[in-house]
Amino acid sequence: MSTLNLGIVAHVDAGKTSLTERLLFAAGVIGTIGRVDDGSTQTDTLALERQRGITIKSAVVSFAVDDLTVNLIDTPGHPDFIAEVERTLAVLDGAVLVISAVEGVQAQTRVLMRALRRLALPTLIFVNKIDRSGARSDRVLAEIREKLTPEIVPMGSVRGLGTRRALFVRYGEGDAAFTARLAEVSADRDDEFLAAYLDDDTAISYGRLRAGLAGHARAGRVHPVFSGSAVTGAGVDALVAGLQELLPTAGGDAGAPVAGTVFKVERGPAGEKIAYARMFSGTVRTRDRLRFGPDREGRVTAVSVFEGGPATPRACVSAGQIGKLRGLSAIRIGDPLGTARTAPLGASFAPPTLETVVVPARPAGRGALRAALGQLAEQDPLINVRQDDVRQEILVSLYGEVQKDVIQATLAAEFGIEAGFRETTAICIERPAGAGAAAESMSEESNPFRATVGLRVVPAAAGAGVAFRLGIERGALPVAFLKAVEDTVRQTLQEGLHGWPVTDCTVTLTHSGFTPPPPFGWSKWSSSAGDFRNLTPLVLMSALRQARTRVYEPVHRFHLEAPADTAGSVLPALARLRAVPDPPATHGALLTVAGDIPAAQVHELARQLPALTRGEGLLDATFGFYRPARDPVPVRPRSDHNPLHREEYLLHVMRRAGHAGGA
C-alpha cells in the first residue's frame, strides 16, 4: 500500500476536527462520529481539549482508502498553538485547508496559506459548513482568490446552500466551464500542452485534462477546492476521491540509510518519552541503536506504527510511515533521526511575541515548577522556559492569553502544581545598528581566563536570524573550544544591550588562542572549554556595545468587525491602544476595521471589545512585523549576571568557578 501523510489545518472553529471525525467514520475506523462540543472526538484526547472544545496538541490517526493508507494529523486552529502546526507541516506530503462557508477567510487562514505556499506543500481546500444558515459559496470562492491565492480550481457546485439538504455536486466532462478551467491550468504551465491545445487538429481528452490537474496539484502549483459539510457528510466522498487523485504519496527507500524527523514528543504513563517521527528513508527496528540530533544516540525499545486507526505495535517503522518510538530518553522535538540528511523543521511562523512570569502558589515549589515546565517545553520548545537566577523568577514565552490558561491547567492536572502568572508583556528584539569588534588576549593581565577570543558583529537582513562565521584558519582552535565559543555567542545574544534577544546579525570569530596541555596529561595551566565560555560574553558584549543596537517591538495585524453604530466608541479605543487603523469601511450595519496594533495591546483590545460593541464585536489578530520601539526604549531586566558590567560579571564567574582561572 502507498502512504499519504496528510495534515488538516484551519482557523479555529472552521470544523477541522469534525472533518477528521467524518473521514474516520467514512473509512470505517470509528462506528459513531464524535462531537467537539461533547468532547467525544478521536483526536482531542486531552481532558483540557475536551473541556474547551479546541485542539491544543497535534494528534495522528490513520485510515485506509482502497490501497492508500492516510496518516491524518489534526492540528490546532487557535493561533496560540501555531507552534504545533509549524512542526507538523515539515513532515507532511499534503494538506487540506478547511474554510468555513459562514465566516469565510479569516486571519489564521491567511497565515496558514502563506506557510503552505512557502513550503510548496500540495494543498486541497475544503469549504465546510455549507449546511449552515448564512453559508456563502461564490463569495467565499472570491475571498479565497482575493486573500489567499488566485490559483484555485473549484471542483463542483453547491445546491441547497444554507440548508440541511445542502449537497456538493462534482463537475464532470460535460461541464464546459470546468473543462475550460482545466485546460487553462495546464496551458499556463505546460508548453507541450499549450502547443497541443492551440492545434485545432489535436483533441485534448478529458483524461489528459484531469491528469494535468493532478500533476500541478501534486506540485503545489494549483489548489482544487471542494465544498461540503463535516456534520452531514455532504462533499466528503468527493474530498476523499480528491486525496487519492490529487495529492502525492510518500516516497523514500526503506533499504536506504535512516533519515527521519521528530515532530512531537509526549510522556507515557510511567513518565517515559515517546517520540513521533516521520521516516523519509530507511527503517528503524526495535532494539536498534539510533543516532538522533547532532550528537546523541539511544536504543529503541518499542515501535508503534499508524495504519488503519491508532498506532499499533510493530517490529519496525519504514520510509514514508509515521511511528512512535520509545526508549530515547534524550530525544527532542525537531531532532533528525539517523545520519542521512532530512528536511529540517524550519520556522514557518513568527516566534512567540509575549512572555510572563510563572509564580508557584508555594515558594518552596519553585524547583518542582521548573521541572514541570521543562517537561512542557519538551512538547513545545517555543514556550522557551527561562530562569532568572538573579530574581529567582521563571519566565515562559507565549502566543496569547489562552496559552497561559492551558499551561496553568496542565500544571494542575498533570503535575499537581498550582501556579499563577504575572502580567503578560511583549517580547521585543534588538538588531545591531552598525558594526562592532572586540578582542581579549590571554596574555593581557586584565583577562583572567586562559583563552584568546576576538569577535566582530555586523547587521544582517531582517529575518536572517543569527549566523556564526569563522574568521580564523580552520583547525586553529580545537573543536571543543570552537563549539564553546559558538554556543556561548548564541546564548549571550539572548540578552542584548537593553535585555532583549539580539537577532539579524552575523558574528565572526576573528581571533583565538589557547594553552595546550603538556605531552603527558592535563595541567591546571592548560586552557579549557570553560575559559572560552566565560570570556566570550565579555568580548561579545563589548563588540555589541560598539555596534549599538536598536529595539523593535512586535506588531500584530488586526481585523475587527462590529456594528456600524459603535464606530464612535471603537475607533477612539483603537487610538488609545496605539493602533494604526486603515480607513474603516461600512457595509450596511457592519463596521470593518483592519490595521496594526502593538502585540502588548492585543489582549486589552480583546478585553474591551465586548463592552465597546454590545458583545457583537469580532477580532482577529496575527503577528505582522517588528517596528522600532518608541521612547522611552523598553528595557528588560537582565538574568545573565550582566557581562556589560565587567567587575560584577567576573565576581560572579570567579565565585562560581571557585578559582581565578578557567573552569
DSSP for 103-123, please give it: TBS-HHHHHHHHHHHHTT--E
My answer on whether omega of the bond before 248 falls inside 30° of 0, hence cis, is: no
- On the question of pLDDT at 512 being above 50, the answer is yes
For residue 201, what pLDDT band results from cuts at 50, 70 and 90?
A: low
Q: What is the pTM of this model?
A: 0.71
Angle at 209 between CA 205 and CA 213, to 5 degrees: 165
- Over range 522-546, report the average pLDDT: 92
- On the question of pLDDT at 632 being above 60, the answer is yes
Nearest CA among 88, 86, 94, 80 for reference residue 124: 94
Distances from the Cα of 92 to the Cαs of 3, 120, 381, in angstroms? Answer: 11, 11, 20
Average the pLDDT over each of 50-54, 229-233, 456-460, 615-619 and give the range with the smallest value.
50-54
Q: Which amino acid is at 431?
A: R
For the CA atoms of 633, 639, 643, 644, the dihedral, rounded to the nearest 10 degrees, stands at 20
- On the question of pLDDT at 39 being above 60, the answer is no
What are the backbone angles phi and psi of residue 43, rounded to the nearest 5°? -95, -20
- On the question of pLDDT at 597 being above 80, the answer is yes
* Domains by residue range for the chain, with CATH: 2-246 (3.40.50.300), 259-337 (2.40.30.10), 354-427 (3.30.70.870), 430-547 (3.30.230.10), 550-628 (3.30.70.240)
Nearest CA among 207, 195, 129 for reference residue 162: 129
pLDDT in tens, 135-163: 999 999 999 999 899 999 999 999 999 99
Q: How far apart are CA 554 and CA 655, in angstroms?
A: 38
Q: Give the pLDDT of residue 44.
A: 43
Q: Which amino acid is at 178?
A: F
Give the DSSP per-residue string, 585-615.
EEETTEEEEEEEEEHHHHHHHHHHHHHHTTT
Q: Give the pLDDT of residue 47.
A: 52
Q: How far apart are CA 266 and CA 116, in angstroms?
A: 26
Q: Which of 99-103, 115-119, 291-295 has the highest mean pLDDT?
A: 99-103
- Over range 389-399, report the average pLDDT: 85
- Over range 189-193, report the average pLDDT: 83
For residue 522, what pLDDT band results from cuts at 50, 70 and 90?
A: low
Cβ atoms of residues 584 and 338 within 8 Å: no
Helix (H, G, I), strand (E, B) or coil at 535: helix
pLDDT in tens, 311-349: 899 999 999 999 999 999 989 888 899 875 554 444 455
- Mean pLDDT (the chain) is 88
Average the pLDDT over each of 46-55, 59-68, 451-460 and give the range with the smallest value.
46-55
- On the question of pLDDT at 58 being above 80, the answer is no
Q: Give the pLDDT of residue 521.
A: 62
Strand partners for 623: 556
Question: Using only C-alpha atoms, what is the Rg of the chain?
Answer: 28
Q: Give the pLDDT of residue 525.
A: 76
pLDDT in tens, 240-259: 999 999 999 998 899 999 99
Q: Which amino acid is at 534?
A: N
Helix (H, G, I), strand (E, B) or coil at 162: coil
Q: How far apart are CA 431 and CA 78, in angstroms?
A: 30
- On the question of pLDDT at 554 being above 60, the answer is yes
Contacts of 97 (CB under 8 A, 6+ apart): 9, 10, 109, 112, 113, 116, 123, 124, 125, 126, 223
CB atoms within 10 A of CB 424: 18
